[in-house]
Amino acid sequence: MTTDASPKRIYLDNAATSFPKPEAVYEAVDRYNRQIGVAVGRSAYRQAVELHRVIDRCRTLAAQLLGAESPERIIFTFNATDGLNMAIHGLLRPGDHVVTSAVEHNSVLRPLRDEEERNGVEVTRVAADRSGCVDPDAVRQAVRPNTRLVALLHASNVTGTIQPVEEVAEIAHAVGAFFLVDAAQTAGHLPIDLQTLPADLLACAGHKGLLGPLGTGLLYVRPGLEDQLRSLRQGGTGSQSEDDRQPAHLPDKYESGNHNAPALCGLEAALSFLMDRTVAAIHEHELRLTRRLLEGLAAIPGVELYGPPAPDRPRVGVVSFTLEGFEPQDLATILDESFGIQARAGLHCAPGAHRAIGTFEQGGTVRFSTSVFTTDADIDAALAAVRSIAGCDERGA
């Protein structure tokens, strides 16, 4: 608990979930809870109509932000993991082959391992280099005529490395495979246009870079793919209620049961905020802060940095580092308790990424991750804290 004696809180764990949210998000959630308070798509009274409009707008904004063909291609999920599971388990059948990378998050690695063990799906995991980057040629060599799915993360949640997704999409499509993108660390941080990034499925969180509340996520489904993608959950949709079969149309096919309405109201406000600010401007802001962070950390004796070697390489605002003489978990605890700097230490649910960069055995890294609300002063405070822990003169080096 924060007390008056505690240092100011500087939150640099936005890759886990973003904080703070835009003010309008808090207001929208509060308004829903106090004044709307009804289910989505089930009734026709005044508040239900108002809510319906907000949820429609949320879907439309999400489609615009990602460059989807139309709003119904966007499925509301409960987080990125939910959408990734819907995509992987909904698409794969016994005997299929999948290509993915070794540096995926567990929300891709574990559903794929489950498909392997339960359904006889074969999975090839291509390696990444020391910067966490996947070589498209490795994917080219791994695909086969029976490859049904290629799944790749857009940016690493350990190193911030942006993967060559456009090239990999081409390779997947050349053998007739579908391409799934895990955009958990890019949506809201890096402009995404599904008309130039030809993903068949793209999953992201609503609560990270999209700045919405926890309990929200999105799954994009390319037109026509709904014929191949089973729904994992069936139930009430508020539509075609006379029929005990799941509706075939989108988004209802994949949205059974009551929505997380308060959080979706918040997400709508967050998406409006993002459209106003523009993701391109947010990316520039975060890139500038990331360079400042990388340059500052590189100058501290005993700090080792991981990920794209040059600060000017394309990346998102996720920075992993270690400090000689400190276990990552201990360093994160000191940063929090003594300096109010909140970072995440460990393997970040991505053991393969830590194997690729050589930090698995030592228990991972400490990760700083930025958002639109991170300031130069936050970065400078984090750098001063690491300098102090490293034993440098706080005004020097």
Ligand X SMILES: Cc1ncc(COP(=O)(O)O)c(C=O)c1O
Active-site annotation, residues: 349
Out of 58, 65, 80, 139, the residue judged to bind ligand X by CB under 6 A: 80
- Of the candidate spans 51-59, 86-94, 179-187, 224-232, the one that interacts with ligand X by CB under 6 A turns out to be 179-187
**Secondary structure of 222-276 in the HEC alphabet?**
CCCHHHCCCCCCCCCCCCCCCCCCCCCCCCHHHCCCCCCHHHHHHHHHHHHHHHH
Contact range with ligand X by CB under 6 A, out of 178-186, 270-278, 298-306, 373-381: 178-186
If the CB atoms of residues 105 and 189 are measured against ligand X, the closer one turns out to be 105
- The dihedral formed by the CA atoms of 348, 352, 353 and 356, expressed in degrees to the nearest 10: 150
Should residue 73 be labelled a site residue for ligand X when binding is judged by CB under 6 A?
no
Shortest gap between Cβ of 101 and ligand X (angstroms)? 11
Judged by CB under 6 A, the chain residues 363 through 382 that form the site for ligand X are none
Nearest CB to ligand X, comparing residues 156 and 237 = 156
Output phi, psi for 56, to 5 deg: -60, -45
Number of residues that bind ligand X (CB under 6 A): 14
Q: How far is the CB of 123 from ligand X (least distance, A)?
A: 17
Q: Shortest gap between Cβ of 372 and ligand X (angstroms)?
A: 18
Does 160 engage in binding with ligand X (CB under 6 A)?
A: no
Question: Residue 205 interacts with ligand X (CB under 6 A)?
Answer: yes
Minimum distance of ligand X from residue 276's CB (angstroms): 24
Q: Which of 157, 172, 169 lies closest to 194 in space, CA to CA?
A: 169
Q: Which is nearer to ligand X, 62 or 303 (CB)?
A: 62
The residue type at 319:
V
Ranges of beta strands (E only) in the chain are: 10-11, 74-77, 97-101, 122-126, 147-153, 178-182, 201-205, 217-221, 303-306, 318-323, 341-342, 344-346, 365-369
List the x/- string, 206-245, binding to ligand X by CB under 6 A: -----------x----------------------------
CB 282, CB 189: distance < 8 Å = yes
With beta carbons less than 8 A apart as the criterion, state whether 326 and 375 touch: no
Nearer to ligand X, 97 or 105 (CB): 105
Minimum CB separation of residue 346 from ligand X in Å reads 12
Two tokens, residue 343: 């970072």
User: Does 107 interact with ligand X (rule: CB under 6 A)?
Assistant: yes
State yes or no: residue 153 binds ligand X (CB under 6 A).
yes
Number of C-beta neighbours around residue 283 at 10 A:
20
Give dist(CA 262, CA 265) in Å, integer. 5
Q: Which tokens in the block code for residue 336?
A: 């929090």
Stretch that binds ligand X, among 46-54, 73-81, 190-198, 305-313 (CB under 6 A): 73-81
The region of 78-86, 95-103, 112-120, 321-329 touching ligand X under the rule CB under 6 A is 78-86
Asked if 266 is part of the footprint of ligand X (rule: CB under 6 A), the reply reads no
For ligand X, what does the binding mask look like between residues 243 and 262, x meaning CB under 6 A? --------------------
How far CA 243 is from CA of 199, 239, 247, 251, 335, in Å, comes to 32, 9, 8, 17, 57
- Output the DSSP codes for 115-162: HHHHH--EEEEE-B-TTSPBPHHHHHHH--TTEEEEEEESB-TTT-BB
Q: Can you read off the two tokens belonging to residue 283? A: 């990316």
Residue 15 or 335 having the CB closest to ligand X:
15
In the complex with ligand X, the residue whose CB is nearer, 46 or 233, is 233
**In angstroms, rounded to a whole number, what is the distance separating the alpha carbons of residues 325 and 331?**
9
14 touches ligand X (CB under 6 A): no
Nearest position to ligand X, beta carbon: 157
Q: Extract the tokens encoding 138.
A: 């490795």
Residues near ligand X (CB under 6 A) are 15-16, 79-81, 105, 107, 153, 157, 182, 184-185, 205, 217
